[in-house]
Structure 1
């Protein structure tokens, strides 16, 4: 039986333009297709996990505008428990401006809006959920003080905290000690560890430095190379199936949502990462953030219990 997962994080509306190449400073380029999609790292991870069969409660803050109303409708449609989605009367919902080039790579600028007002008092109202959930999944598109409060609360109840440190930001030492798993990508791992990652040896060096801060497990996502898993008993690159990418937006979010689901079902970390790799690989073959997240039926047979 699945354990409950609590996701705490951002909800945005993504405004996406496809273009042949990214503009240089001061340059205007003629783009192609425009799309407006629900996004935000927290919402992406919550919905990715829900589509893969997770029992998800989501804590976020949205504005009292059309974007906020659409986001709430999306959570309910996807089967996410939105009991602790908070309506902010003073700030607009968050938005992200995304450009995607012909190789499927992206650049993103986020205006946090109401995400920036999600505070510890908001999270404290959901303390009962912390008691019920076994896994707490967070990112860094909400205030760091809120992430710290939630991590401390989860630690008090002995819960497993997964932190996806995106976008990259310095983390206080006491936060590391509350984390079970840290899931940085290459650039985030470099920023947090001070180690430039060029191969598996330097990936292990970076992961070791992060483990020394008090984390139990580190999973560094390396794009097309896969994900490097490191803890006291394992140092292993989990490869990913090669695919033709059309849009890498939210691939990391799908990975984290899938990882949380696999762990909630009792899988070992390396097997959970295999599952997460496959989910992320499917997502990059599709446009959009939440729209790219696969459903569980698309991954049947990929986990061997």
Structure 2
């Protein structure tokens, strides 16, 4: 690890427009929903806010439009204590997401339009090279262009910064990217896309973890929803159970909450399996609340749940 203590995250902001209903409408059908919420979202942005609220020192790199959704982003970062290294663009909309939330069980389906963040490029990474090189943790995902993510992971790796890669949304990426990653953190759907087989049992998760290690990652962490998360490293494979913090209301931000909590704990020197447990507690609280970024818990709440669950 580098000598830094902060977390740098490259990713997108998207304004979340969340619609709650019994089911998704069919083509040419109009359904009445039971709720609507508007709030800050985007995987990288959610992870940055989650990490900051969990006690991390966080810098977020992105692009947003010069519009009301962009103002929402800046307000969210100011409130959470995230340093926003964010380029504002005229004539391009801020990213936005359509989120369907099932009113019976909180399950979700999402469409993301990255807007300005879809224009994130290598130049954005180079402009923030010093921040990345002096971080403890660098984390990114796949909502912004792949070349920017790969370039940033390479800079971080060469500087001795611990690298965390969330391969979401699921897409095919060159195997070379895995060798740049200390931790690859997919969910069951994303890892199934990577390895080419379903991940529905613990055995299948471990087999998927083996494939990620063979691709060159230092450690695979596979989030398994209500079952918890698999920490899978050379010589150690441990299923870390989920916590319960109350009724599940909305699972939309669960993975981002996990990653933010994990990065915060790791940046503060917790050993990796303990950081996974911290991430599980972070996610358990987030899913009891509606929305994504607004649902992220404070460090004190996470510590309280960890004490109850120990």
TM-score by length of 1: 0.96
1:93 and 2:94 correspond: yes
The SS at the match of 1:237 is strand
Q: Any residues of structure 2 matched to 1:85-234 within 5 Å, and which?
A: 85-102=86-103, 103-234=105-236
Deviation per CA, 1:135-187: give whole Å up to 9, x if none.
00111110001001101111111111101111011111221110000010001
CA deviation map 1:230-273 (0-9, x unaligned):
01021111001234211011110000000001111111111111
Cα distance change of structure 1 residues 253 and 89 upon mapping to structure 2, 3 Å threshold: same
Contact map agreement 2:52 2:80 (CA 8 A) in 1: yes
Report if the CA contact (8 A) 1:18-1:33 is conserved.
yes
Indicate conservation of the 8 Å contact 1:240/1:281, yes or no: yes
Structure 2 distance, partners of 1:97, 1:163, is: 24
Residue of structure 2 in register with 1:272 after alignment: 275
Structure 1: stretches of 5+ with no match in the other structure:
none
SS at match of 1:257: helix
C-alpha separation in 2, matches of 1:277 and 1:218: 15
1:294 corresponding residue in structure 2: 297
| Distance in structure 1 (CA, Å) of the matches to 2:302 and 2:179 | 33
Contact 2:192 2:198 in 1 (8 A): yes
User: Is residue 254–residue 284 contact of structure 2 (8 Å, CA) maintained in 1?
Assistant: yes
Picking from 283, 286, 297, the partner of 1:283 is 286
RMSD: 1.5
Separation in 2, partners of 1:211, 1:184: 13
Following the alignment from structure 1 to structure 2, what is the Cα–Cα distance between the partners of residues 163 and 66? 30
Give the drift of 1:58: 0.6
Secondary structure of 2:37's counterpart equals: strand
Q: How many residues get paired?
A: 303
Q: Contact 1:13–1:38 at 8 Å: present in 2 too?
A: yes
Q: Match for residue 237 of structure 2?
A: 235
Report the TM-score when normalising by structure 2. Answer: 0.94
Give the C-alpha shift of residue 2 in structure 1: 8.3
> Can you give the 5+ residue segments of structure 2 that lack an aligned partner in the other structure?
none
Shift of 1:57: 0.6
Alpha-carbon distance in 2 for matches of 1:96, 1:145: 22
- Aligned counterparts, 1:2-17, within 5 A: 3-17=5-19
CA contact (8 A) 1:195 1:205 kept: no
**Residue matched to 1:69:** 71
